[in-house]
């Protein structure tokens, strides 16, 4: 019973950044639901499809390589942020991004999960060129066994820097670089963590 209680407490406290992003994101989405007099304002404002190439180092194995495929759903946060006098000229969004990745090294494997992002544009959202930054956290399951991680279910923290170029009013080419840290929050040892990087590209579409 004590062991179960210990693991339950660990799970409750694991990955504070995940809790912060999830709770704040869903509260923001709920608060952003249009009232009757605001039916012209949408919450879900776009979707992005990305793929690319990721890499990292593994202890005692050849490098980790992955080809990710993801779909990110964009939710507008400006309606809420305006209530606290935060009015960015660029995009300000909460993203839900399920993904599937094909691991090509050190052995053929798969990984899947969902990332939750806060995304902030650096230029006005009326411009064709829209650079942005993102912070995120999420859940990951991989079939690959590594010396670093004793579990195949892990958590991730991520940061990204990217750019949209809108070649039509609603459609943009996207290029994005990411950093990712993967670990299991101390649920089981070893838990040395795996850092990786990726370059992603794809299409973003505004509704």
- Report residue 156's pLDDT band, with 50, 70 and 90 as the boundaries: very high
What is the pTM (predicted TM-score) of this model? 0.82
Res 2 pLDDT > 50: no
Per-residue DSSP letters for 67-127? EEEEEEEEEE-HHHHGGGT---SS-EEEEEEEEEEEEEESS-EEEEEEEEEEEEESS-TTS
pLDDT tens digit sequence for 184-206:
988 999 999 999 999 999 999 99
Q: Contact at 8 Å (CB) between 133 and 161?
A: yes
Among 71, 47, 76, 70, residue whose Cα is nearest residue 171: 47
Q: Which helix (H) or strand (E) holds 16?
A: helix 16-31
Res 101 pLDDT > 50: yes
Q: Contact at 8 Å (CB) between 121 and 137?
A: no
- Residue range 97-106: average pLDDT? 97
Mean pLDDT of the chain: 86
Q: Which domains are assigned to the chain?
A: 2-33+42-206 (2.40.160.20)
Pairing of strands 194-206, 44-56: antiparallel
């Amino acid at each position: 019973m004590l062991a179960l209680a210990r693991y339950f407490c660990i799970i409750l406290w694991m990955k504070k950044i995940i809790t912060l992003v999830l709770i704040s994101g869903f509260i923001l989405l709920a608060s952003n639901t249009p009232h009757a007099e605001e039916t012209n304002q949408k919450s879900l404002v776009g979707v992005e499809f990305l793929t690319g190439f990721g890499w990292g180092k593994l202890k005692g194995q050849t490098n980790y390589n992955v080809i990710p495929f993801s779909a990110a759903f964009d939710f507008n946060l400006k309606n809420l942020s305006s209530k606290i006098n935060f009015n960015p000229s660029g995009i300000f969004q909460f993203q839900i991004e399920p993904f599937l990745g094909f691991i090509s090294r050190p052995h053929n494997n798969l990984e899947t999960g969902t990332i939750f992002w806060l995304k902030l544009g650096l230029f006005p959202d009326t411009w064709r060129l829209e650079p942005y930054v993102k912070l995120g956290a999420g859940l990951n399951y991989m079939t690959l066994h590594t010396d670093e991680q004793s579990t195949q279910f892990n958590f991730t923290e991520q940061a990204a820097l990217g750019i949209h170029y809108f070649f039509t009013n609603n459609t943009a080419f996207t290029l994005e670089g990411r950093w990712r840290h993967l670990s299991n929050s101390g649920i089981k040892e070893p838990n040395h963590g795996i850092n990786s990087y990726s370059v992603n590209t794809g299409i973003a579409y505004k509704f």
